Structure formats: C-alpha cells, structure tokens
Amino acid sequence: MYKYSNGSWNLILSDSTSAPAADSGSSKPIINKNQSKIDDINTKILNIKQQINSMSPNVQALTFNTDKSIDSLKEDDYSLVSEIAEYRRSQDRDAFMIVNHDTSLLQRNRRTISDYEDAVSATNGDVQGYIAKYHQLEANLSILNNQLSALK
C-alpha cells in the first residue's frame, strides 16, 4: 500500500503484503520439490518392503520342502532296514540270496540319498540366494531411510 506523506508517495508494507508473504511464495517450489523426493523415496521403501515380504513365503516353502524331503529320506531308510530284517527272517533264503537282496536295496537307497542330497543342496543354494537378496534389500532400505531423513 502507498501513503502520501511529506510531498511524496511511500510504500507501506502491512502484514498481509510484507516480504515474508513473497518469501513464502518463493519457498513453495522447494517444499514441493522435497515433497516429490520424499514421496518417491517412500514409494521405493514400500516396494522394498513388499519384496522382502514376498520372499518370506518362498524361503518358508523351500525350508518346508527340504524338511519334508529329509523326513521322507528317514522313512525310506527305516523301511529299508525293516525290509532287510524281514527278508533275513525268512527260513528258505540262503546267504547268497540275502546278500544280493541287501546289496540291491542298499544301492537303491544310495541313489535315493544322492537324489535328496542334490535336492537339499539346490534348496540351500536357493535359500542363500534369497538371503543375499534380502541383505541387499535391507541395505537399499537403509540408504532410502537416510535420504528420507535428510529431506525431512
């Protein structure tokens, strides 16, 4: 607002038209710019958390399947021992037949054990991969949280 005084017009700044109002207008783009960065970082954080949450069922399934395979292997081993014992109890078997039978069962069991070892090894590799990815996601999450803190 202008006021005439002592023969000249002078600019009088009231509270509503003072420099802070102009300053607050110029700071809005900075706030909006930071808000955009904050929103972007929050979106990235949410995506990382979703990835971490989606990994959990996969690791649980791998662990469950490995445990199930090991339990199955134990059952096969117990049934093999029972089968050998039952075969040996038969009175009409000679020693050669018993040895051949036992050898055949043991070879079959070794193949089964080898198959389970391969499956467990593959599962362990998958789990290690998930663990490595999880650690990478945690590191990314930490970086994003630091960036977010710096912007706030």
Domain annotation covers residue 8: no
What integer pLDDT is reported at residue 22 of this predicted model? 46
Max mean pLDDT range (39-48, 59-68, 76-85): 39-48
Domain count of the fold of the chain = 1
* Domain hosting residue 64, numbered range: 37-151
Q: What is the pLDDT of residues 45-75, one digit of tens each?
A: 888 888 887 877 777 777 777 777 777 777 7
Domain annotation covers residue 27: no
Domain annotation covers residue 65: yes
Domain annotation covers residue 43: yes
Q: Quick one: tokens of 14? A: 């009231």
Query: Contact, 70 vs 116, CB < 8 A?
Result: yes
What contacts 52, CB < 8 A, 6 or more positions away?
134, 137, 138, 141
Q: Rounded to two decimals, what is the model's pTM?
A: 0.45
- DSSP helix, strand, coil percent of the chain (3-state; round to 5): 85, 5, 10
Portion of the chain with pLDDT greater than 90, in percent: 0
Domain annotation covers residue 134: yes
Domain annotation covers residue 18: no
Rounded CA-CA distance 148/46 in Å is: 13
